[in-house]
Structure 1
């Protein structure tokens, strides 16, 4: 039976922050977010798998991650014992058909249909994925690279929600030369056959990139120019505000801009798909971001993923490169 919708992700997050031990407080927010999501999805069925991925990405934090998972397990809702014959999602609602115990069978009325709507934070109506990238080389060049990412999506009537989180770390000969992480939330609302309102809020932390911290917010309109069974292409645009911190200890510098985005998705066949999202911020700052990914199913919920990202920041400080690129090969788990 689905979990009670009053057990919300926000409450769990707040509880963790209030009761966190020094160990759990050391887990980065992006990994904490993924573990919280895993603990609430399907009664924590994927929590061990996500924990193992998090440890692989940040082996130095294994003790802290395990302490956080133990804390999460204590806060997970108990599973009710009521037998269930069937459970089916229809138009954002869950239809649960209950069966009676053998003692009640003779006098029991016909099976009762109970309709419940999963709460926003119950995660019962969400689809998600977790991605892991690992690189380890020895010899003349010693390199270690870890990447962990996650995404949740949900259709709820006219609303479409997308929550994303990522963490990347790279060391060359034991010297850290890359570390960044971020999290974001995108909400689309359709108010017509085609046009929809889109909003976005995201936070990024990059210790070796063109900036140290950046908060991105935007609000605009979107239009699906192409909608086919195999591929689609959407365009979005509107005003945006970027809050950027160039150096640690600096205050945020706000920048009012316009933005335009292109979102392309192509289902190549039953086992593979390709997508690209390109965003262009123009005005007081000029920033271009392009992310391409090819996903190939291996079996069941497991897929391989090849991705390539380009970020151009025209206003990067003189001692840093304006363009950053990241190529990744990893495993993707859908849940």
Structure 2
């Protein structure tokens, strides 16, 4: 009799009739903690709660991951719906900065520096606007008056490639030109795209019009190449580097800016940046290379 029962049990197991015990249901207290972390909107708190929940209830790891993925999918769907309904003038974020600068090159001076950065991330489009002004006036004489503004729309073609447009306006009488406008368009590649590190490169033809001060105006067809690097060193520090080159048969321009930003509290940060700008054929009497060091306070909004 026992042999018959043993053989029957073995047959049932072999045929899959007897299944492995199901994992215990996730305790209500753990579910409540996950729901509270999700409701808080704090991604860091949710990640911490989920990690400890999976450590204490490893058999329910799949259920916990499924709950978090459902939450992320809901957020993405809500964001996409909001962006589709928003007009072009909504859904922008950015920062403003104010501080001082020190320059070398065509002028050796110090003064006030102000900047504005805006960004709008859509479903397929990314819009970026940048503006910066450095100004100094001493004994009734303006010794530094540099303006720079740029607008760049990007259209995503796939996860790694995008098309870009770029319009830049510059004003720097001390470097020999009253106004300089550059327009470019081409292709960009996202070489690295990680949470704490990214590297993009882009390039294409460029058109440039320069209004000289003591020299004739010029209009040239050039080639533009640029690289943007971002490294989130820690939760408190971020490093960015922007490099750009405009090649032409006449005057070629090279610019590089490196900035280190450190969080102070909330939306307030401190930034130290160093920029180098080089012109291969500047107007007579102008230096080829300018540098500017800025120390600013940054407010994110």
User: Do they superpose with TM above 0.5?
Assistant: yes
Q: Secondary structure at the match of 1:187?
A: strand
Match of 1:119 in 2: 87
Q: Distance in 1 between matches of 2:264 and 2:81?
A: 31
- Would you say the 8 A contact 1:211–1:316 is kept in 2? no
Partner of 1:281: 246
Which residue of the partner structure matches residue 79 of structure 2?
91
- Corresponding residue to 2:200 among 218, 223, 234: 234
> 1: CA distance between counterparts of 2:245 and 2:76?
41
Write out per-residue CA displacement over residues 147-199 of structure 1, whole angstroms, 9 at most, x where no aligned residue.
Answer: 11101101111100001112111245654221111221101111122111011
Q: Show the counterpart of 2:106.
A: none
Considering Cα pairs closer than 8 Å and 6+ residues apart, tell me whether 1 or 2 has the greater RCO. 2
Correspondence for 1:269: 234
CA distance in 1, matches of 2:101, 2:164: 36
CA distance, structure 1, for counterparts of residue 148 and residue 227 of structure 2: 21
Distance 1:213 1:187 in 2: 22
Task: Give the CA deviation at 1:93.
Answer: 3.6
Q: Do the aligned partners of 1:305 and 1:330 also contact (CA within 8 Å) in 2?
A: yes
SS in 2 for 1:269: coil
Per the alignment, do residues 89 and 243 of structure 1 end up closer, same or farther by CA in structure 2, a change over 3 Å counting? farther
> Is residue 179 of structure 1 aligned with residue 145 of structure 2?
yes
Alignment match, 2:9: none
Separation in structure 2 between the aligned mates of residue 177 and residue 92 of structure 1, nearest angstrom: 48
Question: In terms of Rg, which structure is larger?
Answer: 2
In the alignment, structure 2 segments of 5+ residues that lack a partner are 1-74, 103-108
Equivalent residue runs for 1:216-227 within 5 Å: 216-227=182-193
Indicate conservation of the 8 Å contact 2:101/2:295, yes or no.
no
Take 2:84 and 2:153, find their aligned partners in 1: how far apart are those partners?
23
Q: Which aligned pairs between 1:1-335 and structure 2 lie closer than 5 A?
A: 90-94=78-82, 117-121=85-89, 123=90, 125-134=91-100, 145-172=111-138, 175-247=141-213, 252-284=217-249, 285-335=251-301
Over aligned residues, Cα RMSD in angstroms?
2.4
Aligned residue pairs total 220
Q: CA deviation at 1:263?
A: 0.9
| Residues in 1 aligned to 2:275 and 2:77: alpha-carbon distance in whole angstroms | 36
Separation in structure 1 between the aligned mates of residue 114 and residue 141 of structure 2, nearest angstrom: 20
Could you say which structure has the higher helix fraction? 2
**For residues 287 and 323 of structure 1, what CA distance do their matches in structure 2 show?**
10
Looking at structure 1, the residues matched to 76 and 231 of structure 2 have their Cα atoms a distance apart, in angstroms, of 29
Q: What's the TM-score once normalised by structure 1's chain length?
A: 0.61
Residues 211 and 331 (structure 1 numbering): CA distance in 2 closer, same or farther, change over 3 Å? same
Distance 1:242 1:197, change over 3 A: same
- 1:206 CA drift (Å): 1.2
Residue-by-residue CA offset, 1:79-109 (whole Å, 9 max, x unaligned)? xxxxxxxx99933443xxxxxxxxxxxxxxx
Decide whether aligned partners of structure 1 residues 167 and 160 sit closer, same or farther in structure 2, where only a CA change above 3 A counts. Answer: same
Q: How far did residue 144 of structure 1 move?
A: 5.8
